[in-house]
Amino acid sequence: MERKWWKEAVVYEIYPRSFMDSNGDGIGDLQGIISKLDYIRDLGADVIWLCPVYKSPNYDNGYDISDYEDIMAEFGTMSDFEELLTKAHEKGLRIIMDLVVNHTSIEHPWFIENRKSKDNPYRDYYIWRDPVDGHEPNQLESVFEGPAWEYDETADSYYLHLYAKQQPDLNWENPKVKEAVFQLMERWFDRGIDGFRMDVINQISKDYELFDQYVPGKDDLGRTISNGPKAHVYLQEMNERVLSKYDVMTVGETGSVTTEDAKKYTGFDRHELNMLFSFEHMSLDKGDMSRLEVIRVPLGQLRAILSKWQNELHGIAWNSLFYENHDRPRLVSKYGDDTTPFYLEKSAKMLAVLMYMMEGTPYIYQGQEIGMKNPYYQSMEDYRDIHTINRYNLWKDQFDLPTLLHFFGKRSRDNARSPMQWDDTENAGFTTGKPWIKVADSYKEINVKQALADENSIYHFYQKLLKTRKQYDVLLYGKYELILENDPNIYAYYRKLDDETVLVICNYNKEEIAMPDVDLSHAKLILSNYEDQSDTLRAYEARVYFLNKQRS
Ligand code: NOJ
């Protein structure tokens, strides 16, 4: 196993809009992030993944970029960015940026030019089709609901947008597009950044035949728009032209991938990406959608999926380990138990053990480390997310308001976007102004100030866990081996490397159960979410044992 810094690093994701506001305009910003660098480093993170900070009209909070080489005014200036990068590096923190090049904003100069006429020199930068019988060229839908084609009167044609209509898709078949992207990446690397998280990168190559065959409600939209015929060609070219020249890390956001796809995108011998975000374990909370039902993630499915990824990638490619990001609800509200403070604390710690003792690079999303839960907004007025609002408009005649509020309270992207809870003062210490999105009511009890003051807090548990990971090579590179694979309550596995073995045992549920029958002679308990010992496994109890005879 080849050692690499990005295999041993811990990544902390920042959604700048909701992290820390330094100037009282209610929107988080770069100076706000600078003021919290020590907090992030002290947690045990090595890398910050910064969600988009580029110039943007913000139809999708920065994922619609109008200038790849300027900073969004609400967030600051290029000199604030340079200060952030320098200070982060001084503190030993690397920074990776979001690369959003499947689409731009409609306000990007390329798009403004290209829509002027059919013979505009930039026309080929985007994907245009003539109407068919006065309609969209096919039935392809966008991820944010509604058709994936937007009519443009100027030249009587439609442009493709896999996301919002303000996010037109770039045409990667055009060598000039590719070249422009490679060059802007190089310029960011030359400014000193340490890598990229690549937004929906497995959608840059389009399979137009599949688009034509797509039938809404019948076909899998994710599969239709992902992993197009040239995805690997483009990424290998990107690697050869740009990535291979720098010591940087890359993580591709790739919905609808199998482990076979992952081996192609991230295989050590493939020269494409270092790792990817696969979402197979991320939608297990979906219940019966005809009733907008949401369920707690079932242990059996979670275990089967995570085990498959652990087993199949070992020695061939590298996993990323994550539960949360800015598009997904909070971990404790989805896989855990946020119904009482005790259950919240225990389940948050147990879930951290369950995932972050595995092989791969851990990603922690802002607030996860203090056990932030979903804000459970009580009014549709509180929501800001374009996808949530589109869905509400689509569904509001079909479902009653309590059903919709319950569904969005569990699944909306805004569950991750309520402001970071720093303390128990007004607006949770996030801003002195009016926050762009409502602060969750839980901030009085769940906040960083409280977490730092309590030595048994979730924050301190994360700190200990991340330190432990780095102390044992077996936790970084050891082989995963699932045990008790059909147990209804327990998720347990070994990690093995040479003569070192670690055993992880988690009670996924709140009922107290018997300790499983495993050999614990020579075992040393190195991590646990209960302070005292018991013969049983209590509510959401998690234990990590080191089984090496010499060291125990
Ligand atoms: C994935 C990003 O995480 C999400 O926030 C965004 O809306 C879409 N890609 C489109 O860029």
Question: pLDDT tens digits, residue range 37-91?
Answer: 999 999 999 999 999 999 999 999 999 999 999 999 999 999 999 999 999 999 9
Q: Which of 56, 60, 61, 66 to mutate to test the pocket of ligand 1 (most atoms within 8 A of CB)?
A: 60
Which residue minimizes the CA distance to atom 2 of ligand 1? 199
Could you identify the atom of ligand 1 that is nearest to the CA of residue 387?
Answer: 7
User: What's 16-62 look like in SS3?
Assistant: HHHCCCCCCCCCCCHHHHHCCHHHHHHHCCCEEEECCCEECCCCCCC
User: Which of 68, 60, 74, 86 lies closest to 30 in space, CA to CA?
Assistant: 74
229 CA distance to ligand 1 middle (Å): 22
Which atom of ligand 1 lies closest to the CA of 102?
Answer: 11
The DSSP bridge pattern shows strands 524-528 and 513-514 to be unpaired
For residue 100, the ligand 1 atom closest to its alpha carbon is 11
Reply yes or no on whether 253 is catalytic: yes
Q: Give ligand 1 pocket residues (Cβ under 6 A).
A: 60, 63, 100, 163, 199-200, 253, 326-327
Ligand 1 centroid–CA 405 distance in Å is 22
Q: What is the mean pLDDT of residues 193-216?
A: 98
Q: What is the DSSP track for 429-479?
A: GS-SS--SSPPPGGGGTS-HHHHHH-TTSHHHHHHHHHHHHHH-HHHHHPE
382: which 2 tokens? 């509180």
> Which of ligand 1's atoms lies nearest the C-alpha of 144?
7
Active-site entry in 253, 261, 345, 369 = 253
Residue 1's pLDDT band (boundaries 50, 70, 90)?
Answer: confident
Ligand 1: centre distance to CA 200 (Å): 7
Nearest atom in ligand 1 to the alpha carbon of residue 386 is 7
By the 8 A CB rule, do 411 and 391 touch? no
Spatial CA neighbour of 190 closest among 103, 237, 248: 248
pLDDT tens, residue by residue, 348-368: 999 999 999 999 999 999 999
- Radius of gyration of the chain from its Cα atoms, rounded to whole angstroms: 23
**CA-nearest residue, atom 6 of ligand 1:** 63
Q: What is the pLDDT of residues 286-313, one digit of tens each?
A: 999 999 999 999 999 999 999 999 999 9
CA neighbor of 201 nearest in space, from 305, 95, 273, 280: 273
The tens digit of pLDDT for each residue in 25-40 reads 999 999 999 999 999 9
pLDDT recorded at residue 549: 62
pLDDT at res. 548: 77
| CA pair distance 268, 169, nearest whole angstrom | 30
Q: Identify the three-state secondary structure at position 303.
A: helix
With the most atoms of ligand 1 within 8 angstroms of its CB, the residue from 59, 200, 225 to mutate is: 200
Burial of 24 from C-beta contacts in 10 A (0-12 / 13-18 / 19+): exposed
Q: Judging by beta carbons within 10 Å of its beta carbon (0-12, 13-18, 19+), is residue 453 exposed, middle or buried?
A: exposed
53 CA to middle of ligand 1, Å? 13
Q: How far, in Å, is the centroid of ligand 1 from the Cα of 149?
A: 18
Three-class secondary structure of residue 132 per DSSP:
strand
**How far is ligand 1, taken at its centre, from the CA of residue 52, in Å?**
10
Query: Which of the residues 64, 150, 194, 199 is marked catalytic?
Result: 199
Residues whose CB falls within 8 Å of the CB of residue 67, separated by 6 or more in sequence, listed in order: 54, 55, 108, 109
| Mean pLDDT (the chain, rounded) | 97
C-alpha span between 322 and 228 (Å, rounded)? 25
To the query of whether residue 199 is one of the catalytic residues in this protein, the response is yes
C-alpha 508 to ligand 1 mean position (Å):
30
Å from CA of 199 to ligand 1 middle = 6
CB atoms within 10 A of CB 19: 25
Enter the DSSP assignment of 543: E
C-alpha closest to that of 326 among 355, 281, 365, 294: 365
* Calpha distance 452→42 (Å, rounded): 11
What residue owns the CA closest to ligand 1's atom 11? 63
- Residue having the nearest C-alpha atom to atom 3 of ligand 1: 327
- pLDDT at position 552 is 42
The ligand 1 atom nearest the CA atom of 60: 7
The two three-digit tokens of residue 292, written as one number: 């907008």
Q: How far is the CA of 467 from the centre of ligand 1 (A)?
A: 31
**Percent over 70 (pLDDT), the chain:** 99
Residues 488-538 pLDDT 10s: 999 999 999 999 999 999 999 999 999 999 999 899 999 999 999 999 999
Closest of 363, 362, 358, 361 to residue 482, by C-alpha: 358
- Residue 253 CA: which ligand 1 atom is closest? 1
Instruction: State in Å: Cα 501 to ligand 1 middle.
Output: 39
3-state class of 48 per DSSP? strand
Atom of ligand 1 nearest to the CA of 163: 10
Best mutation site among 327, 390, 417 for ligand 1, i.e. most ligand atoms within 8 A of its Cβ?
327
Residue whose CA is at the smallest distance from ligand 1 atom 8? 63
